[in-house]
Amino acid sequence: MNGIAPIHAMPPESPSVPGGVYLCQVDENVSCGACCGLYNCPDASRACLQERLAFRTERFRDVPRDTDAIDAFREQMERRESRQRPYPDFYHCPFLGLVGSNNSRVGCLLHPLAGGNQGVDLRGLSFYGGLACREYFCPSYRNLPPAYKAIIKSVCTDWYVYGLAVTEERLLAGFFGDIERRVGRLLEPADITGSPGARQTVAEFLGLKLVWPFHAPSWKGPANYFFNDDLYSHPPIDYERLGARPSAHDVILRELSSAFSSRAELTAAETRIENLLVQIVRQVNPAAAAAAAY
């Protein structure tokens, strides 16, 4: 994870990060720990992760800041927590905890700005080492347009959904790209942030990962393996078996790890996505929505 500095320490638009928009630590409640494997555990529910992070944070508060004590803390957390992971090749870091003045967002307990560290960077004691923690940026940094990133930052209100959403590069590109095609221009953040209805609809779309009724049996949970090495690619949808043509929403359906037992299920899924898109287009460009309906 790239830091736990408060938002004013890294401006939203910055040439010092790939893509110019800083995504890791957004505000007092919104941050992302996905690259540290936050969601890569058997139970990635909000309640379970909140309990896990709070426990680690409380225990680490009393850990002496020396190598032996920090290693002992890591071993204690790994013994306490399940070592089974949906993505075995994706490490889950036991030094993720809660940070900020109210412990209201996820962050690195080894970061120099974390409480009790007195400005000392301890990230070299983590699994990947200090360099990786400082220098790694997820694909969303480089591949998503700035407007998409700004929209996600403004719509999400806490760390849990934000971390699940912001790393879904292909899912977000498919969704927002379709909106742009329909309105006939590139999106601007104000298109969404200036409309309560559009904000609510985008938030509903981001939450689909958690409530999607068409997850494939092989779905590994809400964690997203976003590294570009194709170790855990989403399987294609067998439209031929369903007697259907490839869906216009194929990218979105695949990124949601969908599988369908019937053409009726496929139609229901497509309708759900389509309704969300139409709602947003109606908010952003009523004329375009009216023309499409006509």
In this structure, what token pair is assigned to residue 156? 């999400």
The pLDDT of residue 282 is: 94
- HEC states along the chain? CCCCCCHHHCCCECCCCCCCECCCECCCCCECCHHHCCCCCCCCCHHHHHHHHHHHHHHHCCCCCCHHHHHHHHHHHHHHCCCCCCCCCCCCCCCEEEECCCCCEEEECCCCCCCCCCCCCCHHHCCCHHHHHHHCCCHHHHHCCHHHHHHHHHHCCCHHHHHHHHCCHHHHHHHHHHHHHHHCCCCCHHHHHCCHHHHHHHHHHHCHHHHCCCECCCCCCCCCCCCCCCCCCCCCCCHHHHCCCCCCCHHHHHHCCECCCCHHHHHHHHHHHHHHHHHHHHHHCHHHHHHHHC
More confident residue, 232 or 109: 109
Confidence of residue 132 (pLDDT cuts 50, 70, 90): confident
pLDDT in tens, 27-50: 999 999 999 999 999 999 999 999
The pLDDT of residue 13 is: 56
CA 206, chain centre distance (Å): 9
More confident residue, 8 or 264: 264
> Closest Cα to residue 37, out of 80, 95, 116, 99?
95
CA distance 254 to 212: 12
The pLDDT of residue 130 is: 81
Mean pLDDT of 269-274: 98
CA distance 163 to 147: 17
Give the start-to-end residue ranges of the domains of the chain: 7-137, 169-293
Length of the chain: 294
pLDDT surpassing 50 at residue 3: no
Contact at 8 Å (CB) between 208 and 293?
Answer: no
Confidence of residue 292 (pLDDT cuts 50, 70, 90): low
Confidence of residue 290 (pLDDT cuts 50, 70, 90): low
In this structure, what token pair is assigned to residue 234? 């989403």
Confidence of residue 259 (pLDDT cuts 50, 70, 90): very high
The strand pairing partners of 105, in sequence order, are 99
The one-letter amino acid code at 154 reads S
pTM of the model as a whole:
0.89
pLDDT surpassing 90 at residue 82: no
pLDDT in tens, 201-224: 999 999 999 999 999 999 999 999
The pLDDT of residue 14 is: 60
The pLDDT of residue 11 is: 42
Q: Which of 46-60, 68-82, 92-106, 279-293 has the lowest mean pLDDT?
A: 279-293
